[in-house]
């Protein structure tokens, strides 16, 4: 368990470090810092995920281990299907509204608050694809699987509900840079991903929906215009 304790400490350090990295990014107008922040996020999350796979084993990390509690908390398949449909519809709404001139201003204003982090050039947009996939894979492995298992282990021994609640709170705290209300929304989204994890028995659906959620940014932010080359 020493390695598990060390990994939990590493996750907390990464959450704290991310706040400082993003604060510095917000205070700086240097474009190269955004790519540097993306790379730091990628390294930290993949190191943590590889560590979690070493601690738990890849199979245990990706699947819900059968137990009486897991069966008791497992939602019915029809609930999972309905929630997936609702989730996809809610993801699509901003993408549709941003293309309607009379409705686009509110979404553009919300995105502008995070402009220091969001991709603005073609190169940054390509990196954002990797950031989104990394967030989907790594954050689900770390917050939905590892922390869920860790909080139920010695010395914490939390029950299913308490472990889910603590993991969701930690996930929300990691997104405080977005603001209090968006962070609360992220915590609710984390709970929804737990429902999908327990309902399907594996991380595939949460990873897919998490990645799609983050990748929507590419549809909500305008492409930078290509530079006009001088004519010979």
- pLDDT tens track for 30-39: 778 899 999 9
How far is Cα 48 from Cα 17, in angstroms, rounded to an integer? 14
- The upper half-sphere exposure of residue 45, i.e. CA atoms within 13 Å in the direction of its Cβ, equals 22
In a domain, 228, yes or no: no
How far is Cα 5 from Cα 88, in angstroms, rounded to an integer? 36
Percentage of the chain beyond pLDDT 90 is 68
- Decide if 45 contacts 135 (C-beta within 8 A): yes
Q: What is the pLDDT of residue 229?
A: 44
Q: Is the dihedral of CA 115, 13, 152, 65 positive or negative?
A: positive
- pLDDT tens track for 102-134: 888 888 888 888 888 999 899 999 999 999 999
CB atoms closer than 10 angstroms to residue 78: 8
In a domain, 230, yes or no: no
- Decide if 168 contacts 191 (C-beta within 8 A): yes
In a domain, 229, yes or no: no
Domain extent, residue 31, equals 2-220
In a domain, 182, yes or no: yes
Q: Identify the band that residue 20 occupies on the pLDDT scale cut at 50, 70 and 90.
A: confident
The answer to which of 60-64, 80-84, 143-147, 221-225 has the lowest mean pLDDT is 221-225
At residue 175, does pLDDT exceed 70?
Answer: yes
**What's the number of domains the chain is made of?**
1
Highest mean pLDDT among 68-82, 89-103, 110-124, 130-144: 130-144
Q: What is the pLDDT of residue 28?
A: 78
Q: Identify the band that residue 223 occupies on the pLDDT scale cut at 50, 70 and 90.
A: low
In a domain, 114, yes or no: yes
């Amino acid at each position: 368990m020493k390695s598990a304790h060390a990994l939990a400490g590493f996750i907390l350090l990464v959450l704290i470090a991310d706040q400082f990295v993003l604060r510095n990014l917000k205070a700086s107008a240097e474009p190269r810092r955004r790519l540097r922040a993306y790379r730091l996020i990628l390294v930290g999350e993949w190191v943590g995920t590889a560590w979690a796979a070493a601690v738990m084993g890849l199979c245990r990390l990706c699947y819900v281990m059968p137990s009486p509690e897991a069966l008791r908390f497992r939602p019915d398949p029809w609930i999972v299907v309905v929630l997936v449909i609702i989730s996809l519809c809610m993801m699509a709404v901003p993408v549709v509204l941003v293309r309607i001139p009379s409705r686009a201003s509110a979404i553009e204003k919300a995105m502008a608050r995070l402009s220091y982090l969001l991709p603005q050039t073609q190169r940054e947009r390509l990196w954002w694809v990797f950031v989104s996939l990394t967030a989907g894979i790594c954050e689900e492995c770390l917050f939905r699987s590892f922390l869920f298992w860790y909080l139920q282990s010695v010395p914490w021994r939390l029950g299913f509900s308490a472990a889910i609640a603590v993991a969701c709170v930690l996930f929300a705290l990691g997104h405080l840079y977005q603001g209090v209300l968006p962070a609360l929304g992220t915590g609710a989204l984390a709970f929804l991903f737990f429902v999908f994890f327990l309902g399907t028995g594996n991380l595939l659906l949460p990873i897919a929906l998490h990645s799609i959620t983050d990748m929507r940014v590419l549809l909500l932010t305008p492409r930078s215009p290509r530079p006009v080359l001088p004519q010979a």
